Amino acid sequence: MPAPPWISALREDGRIASAERIDSPNHDERPEGNGVDLVVVHAISLPPEQFDGPGVEQLFTNRLDPDEHPYYASIAHLRVSAHFFIRRDGSLLQFVPVTQRAWHAGVSSWKGRERCNDFSVGIELEGSDSQPFRAEQYDCLSCVLLRIRERYPRIDICSHSDIAPGRKTDPGPFFEWPRLFALLGTQSSLLA
């Protein structure tokens, strides 16, 4: 299934031109011999349970003000990022090229391999464990995944909770995996 044209192809430099580009300093080179074998779906909202604000962008660019919200004091020191962030309205932001390692997974393991940042792409959805995601987000996510598959033909898709069980819960119980797989034209988490 080809991706709709409103999400442009993944370029050689690891960027999607139709995504809003916001560069995060929180990335580095992938270790030699590590390609992209996995996409990790996350959910984030800053402040928690609030949407449409600048908190996520500020966190991923090390500009989060710890005095702006009580929760920010506990996370402003973190140096984290994701490759992509999909807002509630389906708009797409890119912080790190997929050719580089974003710092999204933390302590993690997938199919016996540790350090998932080394071989994965992180996609954050603006959301939480307590609210459904929007149709626009599923549409954008499926398009981005199809674009990634054009470059990396066999990739797994999983949740943050799958690679860090007991430590992470996102994207949470409201994320509809069958809906995503239907959009991708597949029945499983292997996007091939």
State the catalytic residue, choosing from 12, 20, 124, 176: 124
User: In this predicted structure, what is the pLDDT of residue 10?
Assistant: 94
User: Is 114 known to be catalytic?
Assistant: no
Which residues span the domain enclosing 182?
20-191
Q: Quote the number of domains for the chain.
A: 1
pLDDT for res 52 = 96
Check whether 2 has a pLDDT greater than 60.
no
Residue 124 forms part of a structural domain: yes
| Diameter over CA atoms, the chain | 47
Q: pLDDT band at 188, cuts 50/70/90? A: low
- Quick check: 94 and 19 in contact, CB under 8 A? yes
Asked whether residue 14 is assigned to any structural domain, the reply reads no
Examine residue 3 and state whether it is found in any structural domain, yes or no: no
pTM of the model: 0.95
Asked whether residue 34 is assigned to any structural domain, the reply reads: yes
Q: Which residues of 90-113 are buried (b: 16+ CB within 10 A; e: fewer)?
A: bebbbbbbbbebbbbbeebebeee
The CATH number covering residue 47 comes to 3.40.80.10
Residue 1 is assigned to a structural domain of this protein: no
Query: What is the tens place of the pLDDT at every residue in 24-80?
Result: 999 999 999 999 999 999 999 999 999 999 999 999 999 999 999 999 999 999 999
